Amino acid sequence: MAIRSVITGTGSYIPPNSIANQDFSGQHFYDEQSQKVNLPGIEVAEKLRVITGIRERRYAFDEHTTSELGLAAALKAIDDAGIDKETIDQIIVAQNFGDVLKDTIQSDSVPSIASRIKHGLQIFNPSCIGYDILFGCPGWLQGVITADAFIKAGLIKRALVIGAETLSRVIDIYDRDSMIFSDGAGAIILEAKEMENGGPGIIGASAQSHCTDEAFYIYMGKSYHPDADAGIRYIKMKGRKVYEYAVKQVPLAMKDCIDKSGISIADVKKIFIHQANEKMDEAIIKNLYKLYDMRMPPNIMPMNIQELGNSSVATIPTLYDMVLKNHYPDHNIQPGDIVVFASVGAGMNINAVCYRV
């Protein structure tokens, strides 16, 4: 028997406020040199759809913040696990910009988002520790890796791991890449369980950071609008650099995780990869199978980026929750199935986890 970290509950909050590509029909865009893009907004959005697969994305309502989205997902995960919230030892929240109020660009992370969510949950246990992780888009998965380490060290028995973001508050509306980003939150309960070999739980993990030439592939910069205030910063991305980095490095990290877990790639039932870009994600998984001299099998990779966009730390936990709760009939998971979680993002950071359901 061994202690394994087992997901006992999942929850997600998908903002109902849907922004379709046609909603950008009246938008004017500018390039990196602040030159106007001489195409109608709807054509720009269509070109982006061809590359990323995104038809629509979700934005939080004006009155909602990142911590409120995270709280909504947390409540669902706690309910799904059927636990007493006072028995949670750690609340780990992956986020990157704190609470940003609508029509502002100031990040508010004091107190931490985790502290705000603990407050919202009305957890009175002082031994329940809440803290945030800043790790780019792979932050939620890094939170899972962190909680797993605490569990295996015998320091905690139960963790609430949340990924929440309101990227719509930090985008430059004049930047074409801004149409990729969205809002949302996902959460899991991760618990220590005594399991025999072959039982459910995390069976391996891998994480990497490349912070030399790659450190500023995703960064904060001024608006592309020529008359913009240079003192206000928005999320920016060197898209081609990110793509080239991800399709090369992410498969290597995933292979490292799979090999360290002592499993065969043929045993992997589903791969839950960060919903960043449809073509990029497909290229990553194809390259992973090439490392094993195999072709990417059909139906291996659930996706929801087409309808939800890229919500950063929230993409994997929301997608996993939606698959478990039968939102996608073509994708189902049974007890004993092995799944792989993987993500890439600002830093540049990469991580992967092998998990037996």
DSSP reduced 3-state for 1:
coil
pLDDT for the residue 183? 98
Distances (CA, A) of 36 to 50, 224, 227, 231, 327: 21, 9, 12, 21, 40
In percent, how much of the chain has pLDDT > 70?
A: 100
Which segments within 147-216 are labelled E, that is strand? 158-166, 183-195, 201-209
pLDDT band of residue 105 (cuts 50, 70, 90) is confident
Q: Which residue has the tokens 């030439």?
A: 213
Query: Which residue matches tokens 């039982």?
Result: 199
The label of the residue with tokens 């295996």 reads: 152
pLDDT in tens, 325-355: 999 999 999 999 999 999 999 999 999 999 9
**Whole-number Å distance between alpha carbons of 46 and 266:** 36
Task: Please determine, for residue 216, whether its predicted confidence score (pLDDT) is greater than 80.
Answer: yes
pLDDT at 104: 83
Token pair listed for 326: 């039968």
Which of helix, strand or coil describes residue 157?
Answer: coil
Contact predicate 60/311, CB 8 Å: no
For residue 174, the model assigns a pLDDT of: 96
pLDDT at 198: 78
Q: What is the mean pLDDT of residues 229-258?
A: 95
Mean of the per-residue pLDDT values for the chain? Answer: 96
pLDDT (tens digit, 9 = 90+) per residue, 17-45?
A: 999 999 999 999 999 999 999 999 899 99
Asked if residue 348 has a cis previous peptide bond (ω within 30° of 0), the answer is yes
Q: How far apart are CA 99 and CA 108, in angstroms?
A: 5
Residue 234 parent element (H or E): strand 234-237
Q: Which fold has domain 2-195?
A: Peroxisomal Thiolase; Chain A, domain 1 (3.40.47)
pLDDT at residue 195 in the model? 82
Task: Specify the CATH superfamily of domain 201-356.
Answer: Thiolase/Chalcone synthase (3.40.47.10)
Report the pLDDT averaged over residues 124-143: 98
List, as one string, the DSSP characters of 281-300: HHHHHHHHHHHTT-PPPTT-
What's the pLDDT band for 106 if we cut at 50, 70, 90?
confident
SS3 183: strand
Residue 288 or residue 329, greater confidence: 288
2-195 and 201-356 have identical folds: yes
pTM: 0.95
Show me where the domains of the chain are located: 2-195, 201-356
- Classify residue 35 by its DSSP letter: P
- Report the number of secondary-structure helices (H) and strands (E) in the chain: 8, 13
Q: What is the CA radius of gyration of the chain?
A: 20
Q: Is the pLDDT of residue 1 over 90?
A: no
